[in-house]
Structure 1
Amino acid sequence: MNLDFSVLMPYLPLLAQGAQWTVLLTAAGAVLSILGGVAFAVAVLYAPRAVQLPLRSFIWLFMGTPLLLQLFLLYYGLGQIGIRIPAIWVGVTGLGLHFAVYNADIFRTAIQTVEHGQTEGARSLGFGRAQTLRYVVVPQALRRSLPQVGNNLIAMLKDASIVSMLGMTELVYAAQQGISETYRPFEFYFAVAVIYYLLNLVLELALAWAGRKVEAQR
């Protein structure tokens, strides 16, 4: 059978909608993964042992199980006990927490590399522990961990396709809708691959720009 990319034309709005949801999922999940990663890292390093132990177990659980299973537990598992969460929020929460635990390990290492003298200097100026972390330690850790966190953001953009299993109209799900009506899988999946490549390219350029800005401020 000959390829016919003209079958995509009526479905371009649907694919565009899928791309928008993919970007939204990635952006919201990225914010949650960074904020959650910082919170987890700080808690693992400085929280009381009674907080550290269950948190480490939570991190181990998310690192040791696949993202798809986590999404199913949040969507279908919680729904079975009467807690129903819209697919968009399950996607954001699942992606955010899944990558937050990996970012936490990166941030923890970066925090430990901040020179102890800077912490002592901040404390000598009257900063408490929370202020020292907020204004001195965490900003430096974020700058130092940007390349590794950027790699996780790129991985998150690709893994956003897994949310299609929940019936959310992101890129892959949009393509599947078109395929079910046209029976032209190659054209649709090829178009999705091109869109993902372009989104990844934009994200990589944005991360490279952010990296240059960080280097210029050092």
Structure 2
Amino acid sequence: MKKIKHHLTEQLLMGYAAGTLPEAFNLVVATHISMCDTCRAALAEYEALGGEVMLESDPAQIAEDALEATLAMIDGGRFVEKPAPLRDQRSMFPGPLQDYIAGDIDSLKWRKIGGGVSQLVLNTSKDASVRLLRIPAGTAVPDHGHRGTELTLVLQGAFTDEEDRFAAGDIEVANEDLHHTPVAEEGMDCICLAATDAPLRFSGIVPRIAQKFIGI
């Protein structure tokens, strides 16, 4: 893999370390970190800092019977340890993402959303959504802006937009200030993992009509 050029922001790394991000964003961040030595090292620093803060904080007050109540729930079967899913070392999907999908690119149940682009929505909490996008080589995603934050991680191929070029491992962090038209490069379909916490703002009338059906 080529050197990763576009990385996570400090805010995203801190939010991930603190556990305050939506599940959809956590998945994209974890997948990028599994691919990126730079962000993995930065995360370790934030986690170490968080540990120091906890050590210096005042102890939290809990109920006197908290331990007994927890042990009772364990004995009652409320907590069941689930076996870790087996990960396919041959898959193009990084480990964190394999926990959410079964199969490889061509075996997934892609849904056409127009212009040759396909998506697979992943099951996460409702405060944000995340999906795999398959963009045919040379194809443009409809021109759009953002009502919130969008994280787009490239897993295969590359795309370009008004900001830069994004290849495998790169992540684009978009907000309300960015209006762009991503175009997949020729030669290979572009596979992305994209999370949003608000609907996109499409310019064209056809994408706006289709938006209610494709949920992005």
TM range (shorter): under 0.3
Higher normalized contact order (CA 8 Å, seq sep 6+, divided by chain length): 1
Higher strand content, 1 or 2: 2
Query: Which structure has the bigger radius of gyration?
Result: 1
Answer 1 or 2: which has greater helix percent: 1
